[in-house]
């Protein structure tokens, strides 16, 4: 028996093998930060194990308490509909709490900056660099508004300008935001993908960054992201009392 709730990281899944590899690398980093915590990974689509399969396995092993953490940056459709539906279908013996999505968080801004510096920028470049905050995109107005808020907040930390862009469902596209920052007169333009793992939409962001000076890597297993997963887990697991669908 585990006295602490099991952390179940719920990833979207992708046909692109880089996606699952990046998710597993992030989960390994979470395990290394908290060795006593049991961390499992389940996918909504395309990859195994499925979320339902992991939940069935945990129940069969006698686990009682689970914190389900959506590996998502915004509260869009998956967090509001897909994931709660999957969790409601879990074995009844499990007490499950759904943690908050990862964004927004100061830790994510730190991870974005880490990736930009790894790609060649320095803190001294901030005031002369315009940044495209390039997200996957969503048809959910709340998720779109959050990305715009993050861009404004990030701009206030000293960048020349920060513009949101979207790879799908919303405008502007990455290449449009790059052109806008050029027109504003920023000395250099950098694209920061606000995505967790490689895949179809991150590849579209990369193509849209062709006119930029710098393209950062996806957030992936950045240490700040791993710490954020544990923050969300801790907030959801104290106390573990409300069962989903109870």
The predicted structure's pLDDT at residue 44:
96
Q: What local confidence, expressed as pLDDT, does residue 239 receive?
A: 67
Find the radius of gyration of the CA atoms of the chain: 19
pLDDT of residue 194: 98
pLDDT tens across the length of the chain (246 residues): 447 999 999 999 999 999 999 999 999 999 999 999 999 999 999 999 999 999 999 999 999 999 999 999 998 777 788 899 999 999 999 999 999 999 999 999 999 999 999 999 999 999 999 999 999 998 888 889 999 999 999 999 999 999 999 999 889 999 999 999 999 999 999 999 999 999 999 999 999 999 999 999 999 999 999 999 999 999 999 864 444 444
pTM for the structure as a whole: 0.93
């Amino acid at each position: 028996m585990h006295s602490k709730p099991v952390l179940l990281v719920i990833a979207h899944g992708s046909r692109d093998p880089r996606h699952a590899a990046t998710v597993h690398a992030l989960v390994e980093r979470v395990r290394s930060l908290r060795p006593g915590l049991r961390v499992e990974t389940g996918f909504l689509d395309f990859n195994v194990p499925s979320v339902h399969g992991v939940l069935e396995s945990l129940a069969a092993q006698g686990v009682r308490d689970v914190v389900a953490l959506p590996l998502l940056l915004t509260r869009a459709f998956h967090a509001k509909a897909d994931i709660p539906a999957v969790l409601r279908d879990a074995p009844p013996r499990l007490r499950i709490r759904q943690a908050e999505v990862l964004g927004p968080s100061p830790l994510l801004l730190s991870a974005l900056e880490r990736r930009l510096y790894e790609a060649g920028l320095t803190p001294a470049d901030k005031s002369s660099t315009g940044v495209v905050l390039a997200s996957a995109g969503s048809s959910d107005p709340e998720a779109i508004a959050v990305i715009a808020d993050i861009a404004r907040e990030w701009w206030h930390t000293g960048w020349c300008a920060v513009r949101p862009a979207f790879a799908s469902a919303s405008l502007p596209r990455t290449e449009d935001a790059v052109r806008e920052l050029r027109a504003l007169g920023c000395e250099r333009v950098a694209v920061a993908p606000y995505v967790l793992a490689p895949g179809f939409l991150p590849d579209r962001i990369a193509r849209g960054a062709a006119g930029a000076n710098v393209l950062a890597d996806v957030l992936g297993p950045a240490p700040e992201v791993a710490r954020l997963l544990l923050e969300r887990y801790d907030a959801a697991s104290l106390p573990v009392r409300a069962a989903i669908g109870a």
